[in-house]
Chains A and B, each alone.
Chain A
């Protein structure tokens, strides 16, 4: 591979690889075959019986609420299916940043919407066990499993706390779940937290910052106070408290609180940018032509505030990822989701290096990539306009 001179290109590649791994997790690891042809017999009876005949159980499993309890997982699964449509589209329009951004957003939204529209609940089939048993009984069973035939929740009985082996390339955790599988699915948790928390922060921040910068006066004063107050908020503590007190820990609460405490930086940047642009001629001209203030904001001011917001957003993603894994590390994570921080916690408790290094390294890489992206972007844009973010 040739090394590109532009750091943005290699950073972009790193991000694409991370996202691809997160999306493709079920493609690489799931205990359900893509294709199965089961004759009547051993496999179709007893606990965990599988349906007989030819079927494509993998596709159904992707939206099965029993297999994927969390909507985060199901959305990612649907997005994975939709990649057949979106990846060629994105590749086709890769030259236009705007198309990429819109395409990625559409992909994301389609995934989330799809997960809510088509969900199903199937009885739990024990594909791996039944297929093995049927094969042992000499039946003509055909089933194509993903390379790792484990779900993130599969407990491989009798294989707990194992160091890396051929069966489990990164070993197993303290109750016998495959670490590599959980690391793959953990990427989804991290990326989802980063994305959602940042989206909330960006929406709130841009909105309030724009109002403050465009309207001035009382609105500005009030929002400025709000910014100062929120900036002093002990966000992580609040998340911890919420998560610990809630009946059932939910990742959405974490994302929401992180987003709602993370917007002040963005609001400050947008406001500063608006004030900076206040006297520029085109704005005066647009106002003089009778454009309403919100139109001036949307058409003239917001596009200019994009670059500092992008920098702050990149930092915010890495901050949210750190917060999520920190919470899981403190045993305050969402138990229905695989998480890097949660693996690391087990590593701390058991002292097993494979449980420490694999998730820790991934957190480090993801956070570094996002921080690096932010600082490269900041250097690329006028640095003075991003002063507030580091």
Chain B
């Protein structure tokens, strides 16, 4: 069993990596920009440069081809006078610029000026202090060099660079390291492995803390919804199985089927309209997790009531699709059980109808239901996004929605990762539970998975 779980966990890693990679690509397909008030008289250019540097956006996303920068590339940038692009080349611009600075070259003065700017730019504010000190030293050496005659200073610069050629023009394996290592994705992965998910581009707060802070609200409504779904789904499913073929069963089945096809954002909108704004009813507050004012002054009991009142509608909206799905599942597995040979055996023993239904059929039909938690959990968490937005609940879902609308890459990535981990954990829990409840399943064999895509 431990081995099985370990294998599954190991297999989850490449899955997560791939998900992260794709979402990373999508998030960085359009580079995020700093949020600046439109009429504020800041220099947008320098703010942007600062911002890109701060969030590491000046690195290539997946593949770094800068070690192959040659004189022509640099010339093209000089022609275009693209300051940002040149500075972002950093140390890889040095060797071509040096070649262009040789006395006698057509644009040597211009190239030399650029060289002077590119090398100090090589100091990365995110690097450790010792590295910085080392680089400061290098830069002061450079400054001395700049004070001599053109031929001398280029010669000195050439020596300087030649002494550190592996840094300015990496060769062999180093190229590969730079190619894949000095990228945004690699940097990000490195940080994620250290459980550092970065900060939001808007409030500069660690996104992980933000999301974890929101998690309690999401867990609150999600678990409420799952509980509600199970509590109602089981009796409904069992009853409609026992009523099989009657009009009652037909009505119940049709109702559950419609419920299953009813989009939850529609239901949420209607409930909000009908029950919160006083036309015609004003039974529930229109949103939030608890009352904005006066909550702190309440007694614990009043607080519970207050939260319950706020959460009733969102939980119902979140629960009913799972309820419909689960009860249909209960019905069909109950029918399977009731038609089985061993239920006939139980009848032949002289057990009462009740004992047969409860002790044999229900027991068999419900055990796999436990495992469906693994399927319902990710679905509910996914569905919570829309519901949280509609009901204005400060959970993970609405946080993620805001992040997406505001283009906050770290928050989006962390949120996606969180949801994916939850999904995978849900599957794993479901498979492990399955082997617990069904003595026939042994680890290593795949359990019959009831697809998940369709629970909304």
Contacts and interface: CB of A to CB of B under 8 A. Distances in A.
Direct touching of A and B (C-beta under 8 Å): yes
Interface of A: 225, 228-229, 231-234, 236-238, 240-242, 244-247, 262, 265, 315, 318-319, 322, 325-326, 329-332, 341, 344, 347-348, 351, 353, 356-357, 360, 363-364, 367-368, 371-372, 375, 387-390
B103 to A, nearest CB: 46
Contacts of B269: 344, 347-348, 356, 360
A234 B19 contact: yes
A232 B263 contact: no
B255 to A, nearest CB: 12
A322 B400 CA distance: 20
Secondary structure at the A interface, as helix, strand, loop or mixed, is helix
A265 B266 CA distance: 27
A234 B272 contact: no
A140 B159 CA distance: 91
Contacts of A228: 11, 15
Contacts of B456: 322
A346 B453 CA distance: 28
Contacts of B404: 237, 240-241, 244-245
Contact of B454 (A229, A368, A390): A390
Contact of A242 (B26, B277, B420): B26
Contacts of A329: 265, 386
B75 to A, nearest CB: 31
Interface centre among A233, A242, A245, A364 (most CB of B within 10 A): A245
B180 interface: no
Given A232-B19, A245-B26, A372 B257 contact: yes
B412 A241 contact: yes
Contact of A229 (B19, B382, B407, B416): B19
A265 B14 contact: no
B420 A234 contact: yes
A329 to B, nearest CB: 5
B232 interface: no
A278 to B, nearest CB: 18
Given A363-B263, A390-B454, 10 more contacts: A232-B15, A234-B420, A237-B23, A244-B405, A351-B273, A357-B270, A371-B257, A389-B451, A390-B450, A390-B451
B446 to A, nearest CB: 10
Contacts of B185: none
B261 A237 contact: no
Contact of B325 (A232, A331, A390): A390
B454 A315 contact: yes
A228 B265 CA distance: 29
B161 interface: no
Nearest to B286: A351
B420 A319 contact: no
B266 A360 contact: yes
Contacts of A353: 273
A330 B454 contact: no
A363 B453 contact: no
Interface string B415-443: 11001100110010000000000000000
6 contacts: A232-B427, A330-B401, A356-B273, A364-B266, A368-B257, A368-B258
A300 to B, nearest CB: 27
Contacts of A341: 265
Interface residues of B, number: 53
A388 B277 CA distance: 43
A363 B264 CA distance: 11
B29 interface: yes
A135 to B, nearest CB: 41
A332 B405 CA distance: 9
Contacts of A322: 263, 456
Nearest to A356: B269
A326 B26 CA distance: 20
Interface string B384-415: 01100110000000001100110100001001
A237 B404 CA distance: 9
Contacts, number: 136
A234 B397 CA distance: 13
A372 B328 CA distance: 14
B18 interface: yes
B390 A241 contact: no
Interface in B249-292: 257-258, 260-263, 265-266, 269-270, 272-273, 277, 279
Contacts of B18: 229
Interface in B343-385: 382, 385
B30 interface: yes
A292 B257 CA distance: 45
Given A241-B27, A245-B407, A368-B258, A348 B390 contact: yes
Given A319-B454, A356-B269, A246 B389 contact: no
B300 interface: no
B269 to A, nearest CB: 5
B294 interface: no
Contact of B277 (A325, A351, A357, A372): A351
B245 interface: no
B27 A245 contact: yes
A367 B30 CA distance: 34
Q: Nearest 3 A-B pairs (CB), nearest first?
A: A360-B266, A368-B261, A367-B261
A319 B453 contact: yes
A344 B420 contact: no
A130 B450 CA distance: 61
Contacts of B385: 236-237
A186 B386 CA distance: 21
Contacts of A372: 257, 261
B420 A330 contact: no
A241 B414 CA distance: 13
B29 A245 contact: yes
B27 A234 contact: no
B26 A238 contact: yes
